[in-house]
Amino acid sequence: EKAGYKHFMLKEIFEQPQAITNTISGRINPETGEVDLPEINLDREAIESFDRIFLVACGTSWHAALIAKYWIEKFAHIPVEVDIASEFRYRNLLINERVLTVSISQSGETADTLAGIRRAKEMGSKVVTICNVVGSTMTREADGTIYTHAGPEIGVASTKAFISQLAALFLFTLYLAGKKETVSAEKRLELGKALINIAGVVDRELPRLRTDIENLIDDFWDCRDFLFVGRGLSFPIALEGALKLKEISYIHAEGYASGELKHGPIALIDKEMPIVALIPRDEVYQKSLSNVEEIKARKGRLILFGTEGDTHLEKLTDDVIYLPEVHEEMNPILYTIPAQLLSYEIASRRGCDVDQPRNLAKSVTVE
Ligand code: F6R
């Protein structure tokens, strides 16, 4: 049932192009970019009435929420707050009927997230849930749903379910932007096409990325610590890369916003410390580059994920993983792939139980 793959996680990494396609199919018109999400139960009037959106999730799903904040604020012009569900459920919330609460949960059963949406509902908020499991508790309690349709995920560390959450959240953004007309029809078509095209890019690049990462880890698989850094849309992916590495390889790893390095973590950098920097050619590229140069000046062991053709990166380190240039809003989806493969290959080399890491459960139904 692993279809020739050594682990479910690797199989599921390779299923990601299909997962993206499943999430978006039938929901976006390739001619116009218009998005249809009938099960969301929010019409134009409801959307116009929201002055804030709360995104509530745990773990990897929380990282998806962090990316969605950038997308929704940029294209749908609605202020977004992102909360870790275990914090959301107990803090003093300022919620009323003008707030939309969106829970993001692969399983739809996570205790804290479920308690969070119950509380939001009690306070008058409409609740939408983005979920991979049809009929799960969260989908039954929400006013509307967006199913991710990634297919069952066996590996405890989420891969394809996360990628599908990103695709669903981008659809959600386009849906809001279309109803509110906050971006032109032309721009919506451009964004829609970017989403449609990304599955093909991931599919094409996956085998080559795996080989590149396999070659790279010889020098890194027995390290004790890792840092992951990124700016803008790459920041949540840095967090996700660090989480994936810790949970399956048991290597200590931290993710930071690149601009935060100088506020503390830079003290950790010496010639022993590997730092994975995500540095696509996007609108914050120059800023990210100066952060990377600071790391280089302190002799950190740089691993760079950057854009094909950006030969400047080779002057900074021998360890560069190149990714094709795609629409910049799609970079989080693309840059997740080498981060997943890096943790997978390292954990596998270390002989870890990749699909069932110690102390972790697929569905966290207790708080
Ligand atoms: C990590 C991972 C977890 C889950 C978290 C929330 O790889 O999978 O961090 O994302 O436990 O689970 P769901 O999405 O089911 O609410």
Which ipTM value was assigned to this complex?
A: 0.99
Cβ–ligand 1 distance for 113 under 6 Å, the answer yes
Q: Report the pLDDT value the prediction gives residue 363, as an integer from 0 to 100.
A: 82
Q: Report the pLDDT value the prediction gives residue 111, as an integer from 0 to 100.
A: 97
Q: Report the pLDDT value the prediction gives residue 367, as an integer from 0 to 100.
A: 84
| pLDDT (average), residues 80-96 | 97
315 is catalytic: no
* For ligand 1, mutation pick of 56, 60, 133, 362 (most atoms within 8 Å of CB): 60
Share of the chain above pLDDT 90, in %: 96
> Maximum distance among all alpha carbons in the chain?
57
Cβ–ligand 1 distance for 336 under 6 Å, the answer no
* For ligand 1, mutation pick of 7, 61, 113 (most atoms within 8 Å of CB): 61
Cβ–ligand 1 distance for 195 under 6 Å, the answer no
Q: Nearest to residue 160, comparing CAs of 11, 55, 326?
A: 11
φ/ψ region of 293 (left if φ > 0, alpha if ψ in -120 to 50, else beta) reads: alpha
The residue type at 160: K
Measure the CA–CA gap between 265 and 159, rounded to whole angstroms. Answer: 27
Q: How do residues 29-87 score in pLDDT, each as one tens digit?
A: 999 999 999 999 999 999 999 999 999 999 999 999 999 999 999 999 999 999 999 99
At residue 212 the predicted structure's pLDDT band, cuts being 50, 70 and 90, is very high
CA of 62 to the centre of ligand 1 (A): 8
Cβ–ligand 1 distance for 242 under 6 Å, the answer no
CA of 164 to the centre of ligand 1 (A): 13
CA of 106 to the centre of ligand 1 (A): 7
pTM: 0.98
CA of 42 to the centre of ligand 1 (A): 26
Measure the CA–CA gap between 220 and 84, rounded to whole angstroms. Answer: 31
Please report the atom of ligand 1 found closest to the CA of residue 161.
14
Measure the CA–CA gap between 133 and 164, rounded to whole angstroms. Answer: 12
- Residue 88 exposed, middle or buried by CB count within 10 Å (0-12, 13-18, 19+): buried
Q: Nearest to residue 180, comparing CAs of 249, 277, 77?
A: 77
At residue 350 the predicted structure's pLDDT band, cuts being 50, 70 and 90, is very high
CB distance 131 to 108 below 8 Å? yes
| pLDDT (average), residues 189-211 | 98
CB distance 117 to 131 below 8 Å? no
Q: Report the pLDDT value the prediction gives residue 307, as an integer from 0 to 100.
A: 98
CA of 312 to the centre of ligand 1 (A): 37
Nearest CA, atom 10, ligand 1:
60
Please report the atom of ligand 1 found closest to the CA of residue 57.
16
Q: How do residues 102-119 score in pLDDT, each as one tens digit?
A: 999 999 999 999 999 999
SS3 state of residue 305 = strand
Q: Report the pLDDT value the prediction gives residue 1, as an integer from 0 to 100.
A: 86
Nearest CA, atom 9, ligand 1:
59
CA of 105 to the centre of ligand 1 (A): 7
* For ligand 1, mutation pick of 364, 366, 367 (most atoms within 8 Å of CB): 364
Measure the CA–CA gap between 343 and 349, rounded to whole angstroms. Answer: 10
- CA-based angle 132:340:166, to the nearest 5? 40
Q: Report the pLDDT value the prediction gives residue 289, as an integer from 0 to 100.
A: 97
Token digits of residue 21: 């396609």
Q: How do residues 317-336 score in pLDDT, each as one tens digit?
A: 999 999 999 999 999 999 99
Q: Report the pLDDT value the prediction gives residue 209, as an integer from 0 to 100.
A: 98
Measure the CA–CA gap between 166 and 332, rounded to whole angstroms. Answer: 8
Length of the chain measured in residues: 367
- CA-based angle 124:125:127, to the nearest 5? 135
Share of the chain above pLDDT 70, in %: 100
Measure the CA–CA gap between 37 and 145, rounded to whole angstroms. Answer: 9
| pLDDT (average), residues 329-355 | 97
Q: Report the pLDDT value the prediction gives residue 365, as an integer from 0 to 100.
A: 84
At residue 253 the predicted structure's pLDDT band, cuts being 50, 70 and 90, is very high
Q: Nearest to residue 361, comparing CAs of 155, 165, 65?
A: 155
Mean pLDDT score of the chain, rounded to an integer? 97
Cβ–ligand 1 distance for 110 under 6 Å, the answer yes
Q: How do residues 256-298 score in pLDDT, each as one tens digit?
A: 999 999 999 999 999 999 999 999 999 999 999 999 999 999 9
